[in-house]
Amino acid sequence: MGLPQAGLIRDGASPGSEPCTADTERWIRNQSWFMIRLMSNAVQEPSPWIIRAPRKEELTAVRALLPVAFQGNPAPKLTVATEKSSGDSGQVVVGAASLRLLPNRKNPTGGRFLIAVPENQRRRGIGRALLQSLNQDFEQSSAKMLIAGIPVVAGSLADSFLKACKLDIIQHTRDYLAEVSQIEAMLNPLFSRLPSNPTVQIKSLEQVARPPLQEFILTHLGGTPQEVGIRLQGGRTGFSRKHTQILVVKEVVAGASLIRCDGANARLLGLALKPQLQRTAAYPKLLEASLLSLRNAGYKTIHFTSAGRASSRIDRVASKCGAELQQELRQYGRRH
């Protein structure tokens, strides 16, 4: 007798043999239920780590893995992964994560996270387990965006991990290196081709009031009020008071060439102008002022940092002057 199209095949039988008896069908159903139960148990088996808040005696291990998490305010929420096999006492920290909720200019709050796993514990799923815990905290918070606290180098293991976790690339940062003379040579032809504006003035950072300058930077280059405020104070990581140049039209801030100097290295952190001035000679005039200041101070090369809203402008400058791409960083995150 031929096998019905929807019939069951007896154990060990082949298509074209006799259909199963009632007893055989009952046995197969029982075995199917047993296999489903095994599979269900396998899926529900807990991970080999315990994800929880760190105990007081574990903070030293967390600090060694995530020293940045203990800097700044507000204090972050800390999470650790410990080996379950160690029992309730003497558990070993095999990974740590932090989530810090920060005020954001556009959204009520934004969250920044950090994850660290020792090299000898990687590729075990610990990072994914910590990220899943962070995602749960993020979903329960009022944060509109969750962002990796530190950008990662394109092509690195961290880059591959965050990409595999289905996080979005929310910002690219490219670092270029060019000779000051190369950029000046690129700018010279622009003065004759672009219309000039006699009301444009170039001033130093010290000659411009901070509140309108900070508002201009936030509007045209992005960032947070706290970050921009710290950079405007100068210092090693701040804007150079000597080489940063501000473009002013009728006493109103209309452009900025933001320079940071760290020892022998000079870096263009941002270049922005109001839209109505972008196709005028104000653009090369602003950049030229910073370059002249750097050249007079003995700088022969300058780094371009391309990021945020002005990234396309910086990329174009770097491309036209033949700058060399030194490094590309990616900032990962996700929106609520």
Alpha carbons 27 and 13: distance in angstroms, whole number: 15
Residue indicated by tokens 């130093």: 204
Q: Which residue ranges does the chain devote to CATH 3.40.630.30? A: 49-150, 174-329
Average pLDDT over residues 45-64: 85
Q: Which two tokens stand for residue 208?
A: 């411009």
Is 78 a residue whose pLDDT tops 90? yes
Q: Where are the alpha helices (DSSP H) in the chain?
A: 22-44, 59-65, 126-140, 157-164, 180-193, 210-220, 225-232, 282-296, 311-320
CATH of 174-329, one of 3.40.50.2300, 3.40.630.30, 3.40.50.2000, 3.40.50.800: 3.40.630.30
If you average pLDDT over every residue of the chain, what do you get? 79
Alpha carbons 170 and 155: distance in angstroms, whole number: 16
Instruction: Please report the pLDDT score of residue 301 as a whole number.
Output: 93
Alpha carbons 176 and 193: distance in angstroms, whole number: 26
Instruction: Please report the pLDDT score of residue 39 as a whole number.
Output: 32
Average pLDDT over residues 138-165: 86
Q: What is the CATH number that goes with domain 49-150?
A: 3.40.630.30
Alpha carbons 132 and 42: distance in angstroms, whole number: 19
Instruction: Please report the pLDDT score of residue 187 as a whole number.
Output: 87
Supply the angle between the helices 180-193 and 311-320 in degrees, to the nearest 10: 100
| Tens-place pLDDT, residues 191-201 | 778 787 778 89
Is 21 a residue whose pLDDT tops 60? no
| Tens-place pLDDT, residues 85-115 | 555 556 889 999 999 887 655 544 678 899 9
Q: With residue 14 as reference, give the H or E element that holds it.
A: none
DSSP state of 298: T
Instruction: Please report the pLDDT score of residue 196 as a whole number.
Output: 78
Residue indicated by tokens 């452009």: 255
88 CB-near residues (< 8 Å, 6+ apart): none
Is 2 a residue whose pLDDT tops 60? no
Higher pLDDT, 40 or 236: 236
Strand partners, 253: 248
Alpha carbons 286 and 291: distance in angstroms, whole number: 9
235: left (phi over 0), alpha (psi -120 to 50) or beta: left
Instruction: Please report the pLDDT score of residue 316 as a whole number.
Output: 81
pLDDT band at residue 215 under the 50/70/90 scheme: very high
Higher pLDDT, 38 or 180: 180
- Give the range with max mean pLDDT: 19-28, 176-185, 188-197: 176-185
Q: What is the maximum span of the chain, computed from C-alpha positions, in angstroms? A: 100
pLDDT band at residue 40 under the 50/70/90 scheme: very low
- Which is nearest to 92 in space by CA: 114, 64, 132? 64
